[in-house]
């Protein structure tokens, strides 16, 4: 029987859909034309403009602070939540499951507005801290779901065997459970990191004075700024993401 070529073409089509826009942005970031209508020659101008704009760098720093700290916190809380969901099958945990799952399907705009109303009613000053809380809120769910997937294959009897053989609970967690979950935690963390890095809608609502993040700045540049600088910035972001993914893959390979 001849194997169908359909899956092959489908894969190619999907890869083109995913990566062609990135390639175009990459090319346009070197295009001397401001709107990218026609090719007007090769230039590094947009990169020079990008590096000399201190507002962009301030926004970029904010974005990184938020992304790193929200990822670290949500990794811990998300993993704990996944552990509870895996270990206990009570009624309460079913509710817990739904609550963890909900932010994944809730529209961003709803979450943004309701978080803003919540922070305002608490009289919390809007700023980096409220953005951090918001990002942790949605990141936990992603981490929890990914780690829970890893938990499904976890043989709890190994953990119990370690306890029987004299390991303290902490040692067993440290030596058995965490190493086993590590790929899940890393994957969940990366997901949380990238989501935090490019979130616009929620961040827009919960940001306060002096806490502009990169996505907020980029959207605002649409009216008066230059799209080409945004292209240059996107290229750097994409490269940065690739490097992060690459390093984390390498790290995981060593562990396996």
Partner 1 sequence: MKKVFLAAAAAALSLLIISCGSKKNELHIYNWADYMNPAVIEKFEKEYNCKVVINYFDSNEALYAKLKAGAAGYDILFPTSYMSKLMFEQKMLQPIDHSKLKNLKNIDTGFVQKGLDPEMKYSVPYMMTFTGIAYNTKKVKNFKASWSMFDRADLAGRMTLLNDLREVIGAALKFNGYKYNSTDDKELETAMNTVIKWKKNIAKFDVDEAKRGLSSGEFFLIQVYNGDALQLINENPDLAFATPSEGTTLSQDDFVIPVTAKNTDLAYKFIDFMLDKENSKTNMEFVYYLSPNIPAQKLMSKEFLNDPAINPPKSVLDKSDFLKDLGENNSKYSIIWDKIKSSN
- Residue 82 C-beta: closest distance to partner 1, Å: 14
Per-residue burial over 221-254, b = 16 or more CB atoms within 10 Å of its CB, e = otherwise: beeeeebbbbbbbbbebeeeeeeeeeebeeeeee
Q: Judged by CB under 8 A, which stretch of 99-107, 160-168, 199-207, 240-248 contacts partner 1?
A: 199-207
Q: Name 31's bridge partners.
A: 42
Q: Which is nearer to partner 1, 201 or 236 (CB)?
A: 201
Rule CB under 8 A: say whether 164 interacts with partner 1. no
Rule CB under 8 A: say whether 220 interacts with partner 1. yes
Q: Judged by CB under 8 A, which stretch of 16-24, 154-162, 223-231, 237-245 contacts partner 1?
A: 223-231
Rule CB under 8 A: say whether 68 interacts with partner 1. yes
- Residue 130 C-beta: closest distance to partner 1, Å: 9
Rule CB under 8 A: say whether 38 interacts with partner 1. yes
- Is residue 141 packed enough to be buried (19+ CB in 10 Å), middle (13-18) or exposed (0-12)? buried
Q: Which residue has the tokens 């704990």?
A: 80
**Phi, psi angle pair for 31, to nearest 5°:** -85, 125
Give Cβ neighbours of residue 28 (< 8 Å, ≥ 6 apart).
36, 228, 231
Among 41, 223, 254, 256, binds partner 1 (CB under 8 A): 223
Rule CB under 8 A: say whether 250 interacts with partner 1. no
CA separation for the pair 115, 138 (Å, rounded) = 11
Rule CB under 8 A: say whether 249 interacts with partner 1. no
Q: Which is nearer to partner 1, 135 or 195 (CB)?
A: 135
User: Do the beta carbons of residue 129 and residue 139 sit within 8 Å?
Assistant: no
- Residue 85 C-beta: closest distance to partner 1, Å: 19
Rule CB under 8 A: say whether 113 interacts with partner 1. yes
Residue of 185, 198, 211 lying closest to 240 (CA atoms) = 198
H helix or E strand, kind and range, residue 143: helix 128-151
Rule CB under 8 A: say whether 209 interacts with partner 1. yes
Rule CB under 8 A: say whether 64 interacts with partner 1. no
User: Do the beta carbons of residue 66 and residue 196 sit within 8 Å?
Assistant: yes
- Residue 117 C-beta: closest distance to partner 1, Å: 6
Rule CB under 8 A: say whether 35 interacts with partner 1. yes
Chain CA centroid to CA 31, Å: 30
Q: Judged by CB under 8 A, which stretch of 8-16, 87-95, 124-132, 234-242 contacts partner 1?
A: 124-132
CA separation for the pair 139, 61 (Å, rounded) = 20
Q: Which is nearer to partner 1, 16 or 117 (CB)?
A: 117
Query: Under the rule (CB under 8 A), what is the footprint of partner 1?
Result: 33-38, 40, 55, 65, 68-69, 72-73, 75-76, 113, 116-117, 120-121, 125-129, 132, 174, 178, 182, 204-205, 207-212, 216-217, 219-226
């Amino acid at each position: 029987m001849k194997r169908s070529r359909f899956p092959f073409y489908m894969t190619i089509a999907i890869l083109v859909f995913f990566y062609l826009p990135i390639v175009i942005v990459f090319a346009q970031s070197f295009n001397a034309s401001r709107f990218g209508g026609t090719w007007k020659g090769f230039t590094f101008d947009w990169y020079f403009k990008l590096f000399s704009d201190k507002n962009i760098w301030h926004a970029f720093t904010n974005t990184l602070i938020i992304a790193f700290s929200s990822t670290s916190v949500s990794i811990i809380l998300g993993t704990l939540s996944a552990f509870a969901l895996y270990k206990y099958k009570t009624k309460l945990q079913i509710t817990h499951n739904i609550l963890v799952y909900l932010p994944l399907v809730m529209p961003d705009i709803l979450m943004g507005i309701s978080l803003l109303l919540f922070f305002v009613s608490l009289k919390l000053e809007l700023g980096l801290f409220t953005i951090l809380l918001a990002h942790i809120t949605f990141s936990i769910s992603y981490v929890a779901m990914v780690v829970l997937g890893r938990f499904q294959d976890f043989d709890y009897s190994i953990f119990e065997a370690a306890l029987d053989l004299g390991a303290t609970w902490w040692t067993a967690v440290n030596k058995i459970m965490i190493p086993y979950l590590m790929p899940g935690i890393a994957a969940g963390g990366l997901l949380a990191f990238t989501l935090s890095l490019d979130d616009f809608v929620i961040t827009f609502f919960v940001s306060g004075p002096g806490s502009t993040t990169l996505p907020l700045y980029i959207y605002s540049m649409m009216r008066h700024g230059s799209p080409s600088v945004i292209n240059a910035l996107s290229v750097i972001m994409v490269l940065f993401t690739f490097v992060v993914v690459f390093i984390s893959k390498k790290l995981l390979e060593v562990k396996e």
